[in-house]
Amino acid sequence: MTWDRIGVVALGLLLVSGASGAGEKASVAWHPSRPRLGDVAWLHVQNVAEIATVEGSVDGRPLTFFPYASGHAALLGIDLEMKPGAHAWRVGVVEHGREPRIAQGKLLVARRDFPLERLTLPQTMVDLDPETERRAVAESQVLATLYRTITPERLWRGKFTKPVGRPAAGTGFGARRIINGQSRSPHGGIDYSVPRGTPVVAANAGRVALVAEFFFQGRLVILDHGLGLYTLYFHLDTTSVDEGERVERGQTLGTVGATGRATGPHLHFGAQVGAARIDPAALLGLSLLD
C-alpha cells in the first residue's frame, strides 16, 4: 500500500510515502484494530514530522490529532449504539516541501451484546410534569453542548484509574433499561454500588468543566481531559471542586450519594469522546505513552 500524492489508497495499516520522500515510511494503525461498541480507539500516524498538519475523519466526522510518538494520534469513541460493520476513515498529511498525502480505508467495528435491566422508580421520576420535562431537556442540551467542545491539547497523562476504591468493577454499561415497564435509553456509564460518603476521585488529570445539580444526573462533576475526552461523575452527595479548576489523577472530586434519579447510593461513572458514549472500563484500559 502507498501514500498517494494525488488520490487515495485502499484499506491498509502500512502505507509508504510518495516519491517526494523516498526511503521514508509512514504507517497508519488503529488500536484496537477491530474495536467493539463502547470502545475508545485511537489512530496512530507514525513517521510524520511533529510540525506536520494531520487531519482525518471517520464517517465524515473530524478527528482531533495531537503530536505523539514520532507522529500524530487521534482518539475515536465507538458509541454504544454505533452501527457494527465497516466505517470509512480518511487521513491527510501536509508537510513542508512535500505534496499533500492522503490515505483512507475501513475500520471494522464489532458487535457487542448488552444486558437488559428492569428497574422500578417513583412514577414522578419517569412521567415528568411539563416544568420538569423542560428542565431535563435544557440540562440535556447543556451536556450536549459541552461534549461538542474540544480542548485542543491533551491534559491527561498515564493510565486512567477507577474513581472509587471498591468494588473491583462497575456494572451496567450499555444496558437496555426497562423502567416501570417502559423502554428507555441505554445506560451510558457504569455504576459502582458503594456507600454514601465514599470519596470519588478524578480518573486522570484534567480541568473541571462542569459542577451542577441536574434532574436525572443529580449532583455532578464533569472533567475535560482534552481532545474531546470527558469523564462524568453523577449522583454525588457532595462536591469539592470548582469549575475551571485543574485536578490531578486521584484528587477527590466529592462523595458518593443518591441525588437525581437514583434507586440508592451509587456512583455513575461515564466517559465521552465528543458525542460518543464509551465504556469507562475501556477507558481504564487505554494506554498511551506520556
Which range is least confidently modeled, 1-5, 102-106, 231-235?
1-5
281: CB partners within 8 A, 6+ apart: 169, 170, 173, 190
- How far apart are the C-alpha atoms of 105 and 29, rounded to whole Å? 11
How many Cα atoms sit within 13 Å of 290 on the Cβ side? 7
Over range 14-33, report the average pLDDT: 63
Q: Please, are residues 101 and 4 in contact by the beta-carbon 8 Å criterion? A: yes
pLDDT band for position 13 (50/70/90)?
very low
Q: Please, are residues 45 and 72 in contact by the beta-carbon 8 Å criterion? A: yes
% of the chain residues with pLDDT over 70? 91
What is the pLDDT at residue 260?
95
**28: which strand partners?**
45
> Quick check: pTM over 0.85?
yes
Q: Is the pLDDT of residue 16 over 80?
A: no
Q: What are the pLDDT digits (tens) for 241-271? A: 999 999 999 999 999 999 998 989 999 999 9
Cis peptide before 163 (omega within 30 of 0): no
Q: Is the pLDDT of residue 3 over 60?
A: no
What is the pLDDT at residue 29?
94
**Among 251, 270, 259, CA closest to 200:** 251
What is the pLDDT at residue 177?
81
99: CB partners within 8 A, 6+ apart: 5, 6, 18, 20
pLDDT band for position 24 (50/70/90)?
low
Q: Is the pLDDT of residue 22 over 70?
A: no
Q: Is the pLDDT of residue 124 over 80?
A: no
**Among 257, 287, 278, 146, CA closest to 208:** 146
Cis peptide before 62 (omega within 30 of 0): no
Please state which CATH number belongs to domain 14-109. 2.60.40.10
What is the pLDDT at residue 11?
36
- Residue span(s) of the chain under CATH 2.60.40.10 come to 14-109
Ranges of beta strands (E only) in 68-205 are 71-77, 85-94, 101-109, 116-119, 176-179, 182-183, 189-192, 199-201
Q: Is the pLDDT of residue 118 over 90?
A: no
pLDDT band for position 287 (50/70/90)?
confident
Q: Is the pLDDT of residue 63 over 70?
A: yes
Cα–Cα distances in angstroms (integers) from residue 241 to residues 106, 126, 192, in the given order: 42, 30, 21
Per-chain mean pLDDT for the chain: 89
> Could you count the other beta carbons within 10 Å of the beta carbon of residue 185?
11
Residue with cell 470519588: 200
Q: Is the pLDDT of residue 289 over 80?
A: no
Cα–Cα distances in angstroms (integers) from residue 53 to residues 38, 96, 228, 289, in the given order: 29, 9, 19, 21
What is the pLDDT at residue 20?
38
Q: What are the pLDDT digits (tens) for 141-194? A: 999 999 999 999 999 999 999 999 877 778 889 998 888 888 888 999 999 999
**77: which strand partners?**
40
Q: What are the pLDDT digits (tens) for 80-102? A: 999 999 999 999 998 877 788 89
Considering only the top CATH level, what class is 116-284? mainly beta
- Is 93 buried (19+), middle (13-18) or exposed (0-12) by CB count in 10 A? buried
Q: Is the pLDDT of residue 19 over 60?
A: no
Q: Is the pLDDT of residue 23 over 50?
A: no
